[in-house]
Amino acid sequence: MAAEDDVMPVLKGVAAPESLVKSRQRVSDHGEVFTPVWMVEDMLDLVKDESERIDSRFLEPSCGSGNFLKSVLKRKLATVHQKYGKSDFEKRHQALFSLMCLYGIELLADNVVECRQNLLDEILGFLGTSPDDEWIAAARVVVEANIAHGDALAMTNPEGEPIVFPEWGYLGVGKFQRRDFQFENLTERSSIKGTLFEMLEEHEVFRPLRTYPVMSIKEIAS
């Protein structure tokens, strides 16, 4: 057996293996095993164009700590930088809009917190702003609305109430529109037309629960 001093130099500089489980108990209780980053990237490459499009919408029904959503956000932000990097105004608004198009549902509360924070960290790093900036405050509103704590199969939150998701739209010149829909109704809509928020003729079941006034970043943040 080699002495400790002989082994340590070999290990220096070697990244720790990615952890795919938090505990055996969680695997037993919830079947919780995280998808490794390399596999996430390979899967997203199968829908490469969609994963890089700013306004494409992704829903992860068991989002864990956000491996899939974080990788999609990185791709979207790369597109934002490529298209709008010369305009700080549009770059910031398009970056937030790319976040607005990501949705997740997660059963375990600690994973919900981690997922939201991981997405916020990506936006914070991209915008290069401070954690108490109104842009991050607006982003926090978005992730709290878009990343739901609940059961994707039952389509309910921990209180047994229906999960509600916002449909965000960027109208240009720094203005956003928000409409809230019940998740169960959105699944009916997508089964007919193929995407989560795709427009249909206004049938009662597809009418929003609430439509907000047009908002600026400051108004979203507040």
Domain housing 126: 35-44+55-221
Q: Is 153 part of any domain?
A: yes
- Residue 121: inside a domain: yes
Residue 9 lies in a domain: no
- 88 within domain boundaries: yes
**Ranges assigned E (strand) in the chain:** 58-60, 102-106, 147-149, 164-172, 175-182, 210-211
Residue 23 domain-assigned (yes or no): no
Q: Which pLDDT tens digit goes with each residue over 142-186?
A: 999 999 999 999 999 999 999 999 999 999 999 999 999 999 988
DSSP three-state, residue 56? coil
Structural domain contains residue 1: no
CA distance 132 to 154: 36
Q: Is residue 49 part of a domain?
A: no
From first CA to last CA, the distance across the chain in angstroms is 62
At position 209, the amino acid (one-letter code) is L
Query: What is the pTM for the complete model shown?
Result: 0.80
pLDDT in tens, 103-133: 999 999 999 999 999 999 999 999 987 777 9
The total domain count for the chain is 1
On whether residue 146 sits in a domain, the answer given is yes
